[in-house]
């Protein structure tokens, strides 16, 4: 429960699109998902496109989580 709050997960376990996942760059989960759908399917590509993880780096676990969720959804659909 507490980790869900820290990760801003919805009840279904997914991080909400409106949640800020990188505070340094002001990037929300929905922006990360859109970028993944445009073919940026690695952490390195997301960093290059959005700047996430490029300052303090604290957001890496959130970006990784969004990427894993999005890739899993792609495989399962």
* Sites of contact with ligand FES (CB under 6 A): 22-25, 52-59
Q: Name the minimum Å distance from CB 17 to ligand FES.
A: 17
Q: Name the minimum Å distance from CB 39 to ligand FES.
A: 21
User: By C-beta, is 48 or 74 nearer to ligand FES?
Assistant: 48
Ramachandran class of 27: left when φ > 0, alpha when ψ lies in -120 to 50, beta otherwise: beta
Q: Name the minimum Å distance from CB 27 to ligand FES.
A: 7
Q: b/e map of 38-76 (b: 16 or more CB within 10 Å)?
A: eebeeeeebbebbebbeeeeebeebbebbbebbeeeeee
User: By C-beta, is 25 or 45 nearer to ligand FES?
Assistant: 25
Whether 69 and 12 have beta carbons less than 8 Å apart is answered as no
User: By C-beta, is 7 or 77 nearer to ligand FES?
Assistant: 7
């Amino acid at each position: 429960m507490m980790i869900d709050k820290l990760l801003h997960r919805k009840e279904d376990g997914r991080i909400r699109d409106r949640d800020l996942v990188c505070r340094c760059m002001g990037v929300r989960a929905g922006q990360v998902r859109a970028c993944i759908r445009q073919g940026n399917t690695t952490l390195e590509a997301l960093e290059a496109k959005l700047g996430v993880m490029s300052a303090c780096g604290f957001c890496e676990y959130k970006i990784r989580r969004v990427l894993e969720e999005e890739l899993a959804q792609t495989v399962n659909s």
